[in-house]
Amino acid sequence: MLKLILGFFYFSLFKYIFLILGSPVFAYLSEKTEAIIEGKDFPFSFSQLLKDIARGVKLAIRNSIWQTLYAITLLILSLIPVVGWITPVIAFSIECYYYGFSMLDYSCERNKLSPSESIAFIGRHKGLAVGNGMVFYLMHFIPVIGWVLAPAYAVIAATISLYHQKENFQALRIQDRDAK
């Protein structure tokens, strides 16, 4: 049992390390995807790339901490007889949400949402985050190909799905500004 739990945490945290190390590539891939959709090119800026990397790393660390706290709580709850039956489904959903969150944030950042605005926006679109994260998670079960392509597909899918949400980004900024 302990080996299974440690394996779960290792697999979960390993993906976050990969997300942190791959942050520059994922930010660039998201930007290129939107450039292809819009038919225009975004000028490369090294300083913007560094900001994207820093933001991606901060949010990945934040998400890994929250996910770990939820996983520990679920582990404790799983010891309760009836509740323990549904905790694997809840744990899977939480893990998928946070992976999807990481992929969706690249588009939020490019649309000038602050980290708190991004958290609020993705929190309102939990189904999108869970769905994107689920594809990312399940692709890891395909040896080699899934391990290499899963993040790229997830970033591209997140960028395409949020491309049509630009009006919602604007509304969120107006709503945030009015609240202050």
What pLDDT is attached to residue 167? 66
- Angstrom distances, CA of residue 64 to CA of 37, 61, 178: 31, 5, 32
Angle at 35 between CA 161 and CA 172, to 5 degrees: 50
What pLDDT is attached to residue 176? 58
> Is it the case that residue 8 has pLDDT exceeding 80?
no
List the domain range (segments joined by +) for residue 141.
2-179
Angle at 76 between CA 70 and CA 80, to 5 degrees: 125
Tokens of 136: 């990312």
What pLDDT is attached to residue 2? 59
Predicted TM-score (pTM) of this structure: 0.82
- Average of pLDDT values for 3-14? 68
What pLDDT is attached to residue 63? 87
- Average of pLDDT values for 95-104? 89
Tokens of 56: 């991606």
> Is it the case that residue 109 has pLDDT exceeding 70?
yes
Q: Residue 34 corresponds to which amino acid? A: E
- The pLDDT tens digits for 113-160 are 888 888 888 988 899 999 999 988 888 788 777 777 888 888 888 888
- The pLDDT tens digits for 33-72 are 888 888 877 777 788 778 877 887 888 888 888 988 998 8
Any idea how long the chain is?
Answer: 180
Q: How many domains does the chain have?
A: 1
Per-position DSSP letters for 37-85, written without gaps between them: HHT--PPP-HHHHHHHHHHHHHHHHHHHHHHHHHHHHHHHHTTSTTGGG
